[in-house]
Amino acid sequence: MKHKALALLVCMGLLLGCGGCQLADPDEDGTQTAERDRLIGVFATEEYLDLFDYDAYFNDNADKLADGEAVISPLDSEAYGERVWAVQQDNGDWVFEDLDGMGYYAYRYGSDAERGTATHMDEGLTGNGMHVTTTDQGESVELEATVYHIPGGEVRYFFNPVYQTPEGAVYLTAGEGVSLDGSAEGMACTRTLSDDLTVTGPDGESVTDGCSVVVHVEIMCAPTEIVVLQMDADSRVLDKKTYAPEQVPESLTVEAGCAYVIVETRKAGPDGESVTRELINAGAERFSSYQALENGVCVKQDTELTWPEVDA
């Protein structure tokens, strides 16, 4: 146990800067002559993933450690960082079957001639958007998501980077953690992971692919009731229904004569009950609500709206 603790103290600073597996050494100008593993997203866990092989690190570097020469490059340390491999499903999706957490990543599939990009998002992560830019100079993928968590002391998550090999396999490595004061609604913090890869082909042309993942953690009081009010043009209530958060319907047909919908979310927090309201204009395709799971994460759920036809 002593040598593991010593190795941890020596290596922790190096681990925080490590990325995906390097398959080709960079040229002097920083470009690559062959592909390496690409950052494609993130997998959030509440516990640190201890994937570093401390025994191997200590055994291989015992002399340096004993002499106080523990200056080892991140690239050398990377050899001791283990990976967790995802399993490809029948539908082509990649899943970390034995890990408790939430993933959001954009993986590639198909050959170079018919290559596509698909996304994976687990329950508990609310997507804020995905943007893909493709040019002759390369492809840039931007992912953004939020974890909503109920109040209750310190809230901590570890954001483990997810990579894809040139052959298409998907894996993750241990990532850094963030924590915030979870005592009040609206408290928030943000973690960003990014990586750019420039590949130079035999013809000397360079292509740069990049990925940026932004993950927010925000405190949200637990919803207790969702009230849906359908209002006419004179602001009179045509219909009012109250739902438990887990019973909000997936679809709703709007009453004839409804001009707009108000969605009230009643929440229970440390300071008592609160209410937020959202105005849904006529013709909107959906509204969103949230429910708190047993693990404290508030998950988003959409309700599709069907509006009555308006006579011409």
Please name the residues in contact with 41: beta carbons below 8 A apart, sequence gap of 6 or more: 103, 104, 105, 106, 107, 120, 143, 161, 162, 211, 213
User: Does the residue 312 lie in any domain?
Assistant: no
Q: Is the pLDDT of residue 226 over 90?
A: yes
Higher pLDDT, 210 or 6: 210
Matching residue, tokens 């050959």: 111
Q: Are residues 175 and 29 in the same domain?
A: yes
Return the half-sphere exposure (C-beta side, CA atoms, 13 A cut-off) of residue 221.
Answer: 16
Residue type, 218: E
Residue 287: strand pairing partners = 303
pLDDT of the residue at 31: 43
Contact 159, 178 (CB under 8 A): yes
User: Does the residue 297 lie in any domain?
Assistant: yes
pLDDT of the residue at 21: 37
DSSP secondary structure, 227-275, as one string = EEEEE-TTS-EEEEEEE-GGG--SEEEPPTT--EEEEEEEEEETTEEEE
Share of the chain above pLDDT 70, in %: 82
Q: Are residues 232 and 164 in the same domain?
A: no
- Give the total number of structural domains in the chain: 2
Span of 20-29, 65-74, 176-185, 214-223 with lowest mean pLDDT? 20-29
User: Does the residue 275 lie in any domain?
Assistant: yes
pLDDT of the residue at 68: 67
Which residues constitute the domain of residue 94? Answer: 2-219
Residue finishing a domain among 219, 254, 272: 219
User: Does the residue 301 lie in any domain?
Assistant: yes
Span of 15-29, 43-57, 96-110, 168-182 with lowest mean pLDDT? 15-29
pLDDT of the residue at 271: 86
Q: What is the pLDDT of residues 36-76, one digit of tens each?
A: 899 999 999 999 998 877 777 777 777 776 776 655 555 55
Whole-model pTM: value is 0.79
Residue finishing a domain among 185, 219, 253: 219
Contact 87, 174 (CB under 8 A): no
The mean pLDDT of 282-286, rounded to a whole number, is 96
Residue 210: strand pairing partners = 140, 196
pLDDT of the residue at 149: 96
Q: Are residues 21 and 169 in the same domain?
A: yes
Q: Classify 106 as helix, strand or coil.
A: strand
Q: Classify 9 as helix, strand or coil.
A: helix
Q: Are residues 110 and 242 in the same domain?
A: no
User: Mean pLDDT for the chain?
Assistant: 84
Q: Are residues 180 and 42 in the same domain?
A: yes
Identify each DSSP E strand in the chain by its residue range: 38-45, 84-85, 87-88, 94-95, 102-109, 116-121, 126-135, 138-149, 154-164, 170-172, 176-181, 188-200, 206-219, 222-231, 237-243, 251-253, 260-269, 272-281, 286-292, 297-306
